[in-house]
Amino acid sequence: MLYKDFYSELGKLLYAVADIDGVITPAEKKALHEIVRKELVPAEKHKDEFGTDTAYYAEMEFDYLDEEIGDAEAAFNSFIDFVEEHHMAFDEKMKKVCLHVAKEIANAYHKTNKKEKALIEKLKERIKK
């Protein structure tokens, strides 16, 4: 599994959580950028061929989907497909990170709403396998 692919898919997951209610708020965007810079980058040692920390791919993918008005459900399904394809590489630590950052994005704007909560529950079930 390439780490930049993982972070790109994580960006899709975070986009799905932020956009599942049909709107991405400035607070959710700010939370994403803080999560990447304060949590993901310091914990990641892998770099791409240009020397960029692979954790930044989560931010790049999120921003791309936001600009292109991506589909939240398709983004979520892409992440789940990636997890299932690479299930042997997804250890408990990675699963916890995915759930943690998804919850942080959901809580960024007036706490977690019903659609975000339902998506996070679906995520929990799907990555348990």
pLDDT digits (tens, 9 = 90+) for 54-80: 999 999 999 999 999 999 999 999 999
Longest dimension (CA), the chain: 40
pLDDT for the residue 129: 67
Q: What is the pTM of this model?
A: 0.93
pLDDT for the residue 73: 96
Helices 92-107 and 114-128, axial angle in degrees (round to 10)? 180
pLDDT for the residue 84: 93
pLDDT for the residue 109: 86
Q: How many whole angstroms separate alpha carbon 29 and alpha carbon 96? A: 21
In the chain, the domains with their CATH numbers are: 3-128 (1.10.3680)
Q: How many whole angstroms separate alpha carbon 49 and alpha carbon 64? A: 20
What's the whole-number mean pLDDT along residues 8-26? 95
